[in-house]
Structure 1
Amino acid sequence: MISRIFIACLFLGMYSTGSSLSCKWIVKHPGNTKSQFSLYNKIALDFLDMMAEDKLAFTVQILKELLALFEEDHSSASWEENTVENFLNIVDKQTEELRSCIGSHSNTTQKGQQLSFRREKYFKRLLNKILKKNGYSAEAWEKIRNITQAHLRQCEFLISLRTAH
């Protein structure tokens, strides 16, 4: 049993040592500044950048849904109206500025439309099951505030992924 394990380890060690040295895919060729892997990796990263537009469109949709949610009756919340208005202005500004970064083709695919429908349904559930069900109470609005914080952090993460290279 131990000899079989030893032979397997020996074979694996010899294979991995030789394979990385002889792999022409990762070695730079004379006259080229990059290996084949690096060239293809750059192309893959370029495609990922194109896909980031969808992240922007997704973020814009989240921000729009958050704006609509906070336009509901929040009079029972203990927030100052000025603070709420400032929050809404900032989120609206983010929405408009990000929208200007999006190409015209974003979210026009069937998958994008399905995601948009699910997102709208999710925010409707927040409205109905948290706010309306609880009579727009201060506690309900505090739950919405916490959920909103989480969503804004997720939006920040998505945007940082787009710009992080």
Structure 2
Amino acid sequence: MLSRIFFACLFLGLYSSGSSLSCRWMDHKFRQFSENSLILIDMMANHYPGEHTEVAFPHHLYSQASRASAEDKLAFAVQVLQEVCALFEEDDSSSSWEQSALEHFLNVVIKQADELRSCAGRHKTNRRLHMYFKRLPRHVFAQMGHSAEAWELIRREIKAHLMETDQLVASLLTAN
């Protein structure tokens, strides 16, 4: 009986210390991981001459998120990072990225999402953001086909999302 109580106390102690470490991670490590993700996505760049399809960036969703509570800002940032991962985990065989570079990028973004999720408390899904990320590749591929140039346009859009997400989370870090 005492061993069960001991393990229950140990579990609760580890769980509660883990959750506070996660938020300390946000305060101390988020910027480093965010900068790394931006460097890695830049390293994946391939510059193609010619016309580029315009993609409507959802500035209004980021504007709404910036006025939300801290918990909702984190939930929005987590969702962006998860949507980015889902998009890049699609069949990217027509992209010209090195597989190892893509995997390293995804590992960094997944770590960011996991750590921020542990700070957010709850995860509220923004349906309009989800629909944007579902339509983005369909729109680009419809205009440009499944080409390396299309994936480059998507990469540039994702970089813009990562920069906006960085600013959103940074607003929480300066508020503390």
TM range, smaller chain: 0.5 to 0.7
Shift of the alpha carbon at 1:90? 0.7
1:52 to 59, 64, 70: 70
Q: CA deviation at 1:131?
A: 3.1
Say which of 145, 151, 163 aligns to 2:161.
Answer: 151
Q: Structure 1 unaligned segments of length 5 or more: list them.
A: 1-47, 108-112
Contact persistence 1:73–1:136 (CA under 8 A): no
Q: Distance in 2 between matches of 1:122 and 1:162?
A: 25
2:152 is matched with: 142
CA distance in 1, matches of 2:83, 2:170: 21
Q: Alpha-carbon deviation of 1:160?
A: 0.5
Match of 2:95 among 43, 62, 77: 77
TM-score scaled by structure 1? Answer: 0.61
Whether contact under 8 Å (1:60, 1:98) holds in the other structure is yes
Segments of 5+ residues of structure 2 without an aligned counterpart are: 1-65
| Alpha-carbon displacement from aligned partner over 1:49-107 (angstroms, at most 9, x marks no partner) | x9111100000001111111001111221111000000111111101000000123x52
Q: Distance in 1 between matches of 2:170 and 2:85?
A: 22
String of CA shifts for 1:106-154, please: whole Å, max 9, x gaps.
52xxxxx5xx111111111102111355332101100100001000000
Letter in 2 for 1:120: H
Equivalent-residue separation in structure 2 for 1:91 and 1:159 (angstroms): 14
Provide, for residues 16-42 of structure 1, a one-character-per-residue CA deviation record: whole Å limited to 9, x for no partner.
Answer: xxxxxxxxxxxxxxxxxxxxxxxxxxx
Percent identity (aligned): 50
* SS of 1:127 mapped into structure 2: helix
TM-score by length of 2: 0.58
Which is greater in Rg?
Answer: 1
Number of residues of Structure 1 aligned to a counterpart in Structure 2: 109
